[in-house]
Amino acid sequence: MFTGIISDIGEVTAVERGESDLVRLTIACGYDPQTIEIGASIACNGVCLTAVARGKESGRNWFAADAAAETLRVTTVGRWRAGTRINLERALKAGDELGGHIVAGHVDGLAAVTARENLTEMARLTFRAPAELARLIAPKGSVALDGVSLTVNEVRGDTFSVLIIPHTLKVTTFHSLAAGDETNLEVDLMARYVARLIERA
């Protein structure tokens, strides 16, 4: 589990495609590799991936993770190339501060940026969500976009907007998001379960 509070920006340094459907990603990061246990979960742009190797090379810390066919299909991971910068978050530990909201790292779909309004030190971003997910997004509710916990400001049909504060622009990849870009969307867990209960009623 995660909280949607980004702790580092990583950079993909290698993408290796094997004979199977697995793709191995090597990601440079600021985390001390000795603190990354093999098998640990790390959210990469909101996608929960498992660390399968870690180390330090040419002065850069790194870890490697494998992405399966379903992850490549549902998320933006299949588009990552060497040089792609991604938001990183380590898994939540008991006793950690819950600064955002509960994020599973299980991406529901893609949300496309339809507009960006640059304000004084901030930005307002508008996204279009798939119809089946848009119904689960509510004003003042929570969403995770590329792993970042955000509060929804406004909802209109299948579009919604969020306000990105200066700190978030500084410590995430959101400073470079533009109209046409797609992000990994995870809707709030509570909204998903409430919708499921209503469907069964």
Name the catalytic one among 35, 82, 151, 175.
151
List the structure tokens of 153.
């400001």
The verdict on 114 and 193 lying in the same domain is yes
- Examine the residue annotation and report whether 174 is marked as an active-site residue of this protein: no
pLDDT for the residue 96: 76
pLDDT tens digits, residue range 76-116?
A: 999 999 999 999 999 988 777 777 788 999 999 999 999 99
The verdict on 117 and 190 lying in the same domain is yes
Name the catalytic one among 7, 13, 40, 106.
106
- Examine the residue annotation and report whether 48 is marked as an active-site residue of this protein: yes
102 in a domain, yes or no? no
Name the catalytic one among 28, 29, 44, 48.
48
pLDDT for the residue 21: 84
Whichever domain contains 32, its CATH number is 2.40.30.20
101 in a domain, yes or no? no
Q: 20 lies in which domain range?
A: 8-90
pLDDT tens digits, residue range 139-151?
A: 999 999 999 999 9
95 in a domain, yes or no? no
pLDDT tens digits, residue range 39-60?
A: 999 999 999 999 999 999 989 9
Name the catalytic one among 68, 69, 82, 179.
68
d(CA 191, CA 201): 15
- Whether residue 201 is predicted with pLDDT greater than 60 in this model: the reply is no
- The domain tally of the chain equals 2
- Examine the residue annotation and report whether 151 is marked as an active-site residue of this protein: yes
d(CA 121, CA 180): 22
- Examine the residue annotation and report whether 2 is marked as an active-site residue of this protein: yes
Question: Which neighbouring-strand residues pair with 48?
Answer: 43
Element holding 98 (H helix, E strand): none
pLDDT for the residue 195: 63
- Whether residue 191 is predicted with pLDDT greater than 90 in this model: the reply is no
Amino acid identity for residue 176 in this structure: S
pLDDT tens digits, residue range 124-179?
A: 999 999 999 999 999 999 999 999 999 999 999 999 999 999 999 999 999 999 99
Mean pLDDT taken over the chain: 93
Name the catalytic one among 3, 41, 142, 149.
41
Cβ atoms of residues 80 and 11 within 8 Å: no
- Whether residue 200 is predicted with pLDDT greater than 80 in this model: the reply is no
Name the catalytic one among 7, 50, 114, 159.
50
